[in-house]
């Protein structure tokens, strides 16, 4: 039996924004890791891959927090990939 929703709408909205921010941060760190690999900075690549994984872990914690309280995250895919064409590094070349 599902848990009744214990979260108010404003709290759900704030958690949703935080969840989207965590996904965006993970996406950004993955992008930076790929850019670092491209220019041969493999130590930096490893660093950014670990940061991306950490942000996904933060995302998962927030989702589980909501699920355990009878709510669920409404992840906007636009938010998760917002500005994908504006990410830094387009100018990074060998």
**Where along the sequence are the contacts to Fe ion (CB under 5 A)?**
22, 55, 58
Taking the complex as a whole, the smallest distance from the CB of residue 5 to Fe ion amounts, in Å, to 24
Smallest gap from Cβ 27 to Fe ion, in A, equals 12
**Shortest gap between Cβ of 69 and Fe ion (angstroms)?**
20
State the nearest-atom distance from the C-beta of 11 to Fe ion, in Å: 18
Contact between residue 52 and residue 59 where contact means Cβ atoms under 8 Å apart: no
Name which of 8 and 60 has its Cβ closer to Fe ion.
Answer: 60
The CA–CA distances, whole Å, from 32 to 2, 35, 45, 49 equal 40, 5, 7, 8
| For Fe ion, the closer CB: 25 or 87 | 25
* DSSP annotation of 77: H
How far are the Cα atoms of 3, 22, 24, 27, 85 from residue 81, in angstroms, in the given order? 31, 11, 6, 7, 9
Q: Which is nearer to Fe ion, 28 or 36 (CB)?
A: 28
Query: Which stretches does DSSP call E strand in 1-94?
Result: none
Task: Report the residue number, 18 or 44, with the smaller CB distance to Fe ion.
Answer: 18
């Amino acid at each position: 039996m599902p848990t009744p929703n214990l979260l108010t709408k404003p709290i759900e909205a704030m958690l949703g924004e935080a969840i989207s921010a965590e996904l965006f941060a993970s996406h950004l760190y993955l992008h930076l890791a790929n850019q670092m690999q491209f220019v041969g900075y493999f130590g930096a690549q490893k660093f950014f891959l670990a940061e991306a994984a950490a942000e996904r872990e933060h995302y998962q914690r927030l989702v589980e927090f909501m699920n355990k309280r009878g709510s669920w995250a409404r992840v906007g895919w636009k938010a998760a990939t917002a500005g994908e064409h504006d990410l830094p590094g387009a100018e990074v070349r060998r």
